[in-house]
Amino acid sequence: MTDQALLETRELRKYFSQSSGLLDSFLGNEDHVQAVDDVSLTVDTNEVIGIIGESGCGKTTLLELLIGLHEPTGGEIRFQGDRLSTFDRKDWKRFRRNVQIIFQDPFNSLDPKMTVRESLREPLAVHGLDDKTARIRRALENAELDPDTYLDRLPRQLSGGEKQRVSIARALVTEPDMILADEPASMLDVSTQASVLNLLNDLSTELGVSIIYISHDLSTVGHVCDRINVMYLGRIVESAPTEQLLHEPKHPYTEALVNAIPIPDPHHNRPRTKVEGTPRDPINLGEGCRFRDRCPERMDICDRTPRTTESDADHQVACHLYYEHEEVGQ
Ligand code: SF4
């Protein structure tokens, strides 16, 4: 673990038991869904990290682990150097003020009976913060909403984009160090998506907030993030700075995701492709590359689990194509 990171995970695992009864548990015959497996991530101050993957890849479970909703099966999470597993009530309260979430669905994330002012006042009351009016106005301004226009509106008087901006203001009102954004633009129309993504980008630059941005859509993650982690069936299979990952993807799965991004220029002749097939059953995944059923580059060695290697200083990939030959046989 490094000293400077705002948030770090090391070899983080979350397995869910699928046992059919007490006898199975007693005999140790339980099946497990390896929702998050061996995930090591580092998020620095003022950094925006993307986690991208298909539905069911484990990204939402990872987010839930990061906010303490699940007990990890193994590994650890540190926030500002401190292990979450050692937190007492006071630590959790400090953590919950410093780490806020923006949910996917702006239509259900606000209480329909509360005005914008009341929605933003609630987290301030929970955390015992004073100077409420000034904090609320500042949060709305940071979310690019005029306080005088919006303070007394109810959710039904807001558009989808305005609701998501109020959710962002609510996340900002406690002045957190980190925001976890769970597909924050996926339920908005395309033009509103762009403005919400630009806003998130500005927040990290202007307020120094670190963001973990979770999405199934590589094109939106690419707009916002400094670094992208590609997740497949519970594991990070590739991690690199955004430009590098989009222009020089290494892992066959990442390559397929990049090739599936729509290209606005009709004269651009790169063929668009999609990942063929479906992910394998996530129960008892066992040994081997988890992408091997869908991989056009599959080799015999792929029945063994690839370890993560650095293709260069800042670019990690978990694929046998990037091992040195002598390492393959080890
Ligand atoms: Fe494909 Fe093998 Fe690499 Fe997995 S390890 S992505 S199956 S080449």
Q: Which residue has the higher pLDDT, 310 or 257?
A: 257
Mutate which of 275, 293, 299 for ligand 1 pocket (most atoms within 8 A of beta carbon): 299
Q: Is the CB of 297 under 6 A from ligand 1?
A: yes
Rounded to the nearest integer, the mean pLDDT of the chain is 88
H helices of the chain, in order, are 22-27, 59-66, 89-98, 116-126, 132-142, 147-150, 160-172, 190-207, 218-224, 242-247, 252-259, 325-328
216-231 average pLDDT score: 90
pLDDT band per the 50, 70, 90 thresholds, residue 277: confident
H helices of 173-309, in order, are 190-207, 218-224, 242-247, 252-259
Reply yes or no on whether the pLDDT at 233 is more than 90. yes
Which 3 state secondary structure label does DSSP give 227? strand
Q: Is the CB of 292 under 6 A from ligand 1?
A: yes
Expressed in angstroms and rounded, the spacing between residue 268 Cα and the centre of ligand 1 is 29
- Burial-class residue 314 by CB neighbours within 10 Å (0-12, 13-18, 19+): exposed
Taking CA atoms only, the protein residue closest to ligand 1 atom 5 is 319
Atom of ligand 1 nearest to the CA of 295: 1
Q: Is the CB of 298 under 6 A from ligand 1?
A: yes
pLDDT computed for residue 187 by the predictor = 75
d(C-alpha 226, C-alpha 186), whole Å:
20
Q: Which residues of 163-193 are buried (b: 16+ CB within 10 A; e: fewer)?
A: bbbbbbbbbbbbebbbbbbbbbbebbeeebb
The residues facing 13 across adjacent strands are: 74
pLDDT band per the 50, 70, 90 thresholds, residue 265: low
Atom of ligand 1 nearest to the CA of 253: 6
pLDDT computed for residue 27 by the predictor = 59
59-68 average pLDDT score: 94
Residue 86 CB neighbour total at 10 angstroms: 9
pLDDT computed for residue 283 by the predictor = 84
7-16 average pLDDT score: 95
Query: For residue 123, which of 179, 82, 46, 64 has the smallest C-alpha distance?
Result: 179
Expressed in angstroms and rounded, the spacing between residue 292 Cα and the centre of ligand 1 is 6
Query: For residue 51, which of 39, 67, 33, 68 has the smallest C-alpha distance?
Result: 39
pLDDT computed for residue 24 by the predictor = 62
Which 3 state secondary structure label does DSSP give 99? strand
Of 58-72, 233-247, 314-328, the one with minimum mean pLDDT is 314-328
Is residue 39 within 8 A of residue 10, CB to CB? The reply is: no
Q: The pTM is what? A: 0.89
CA 42 to chain centre: 12
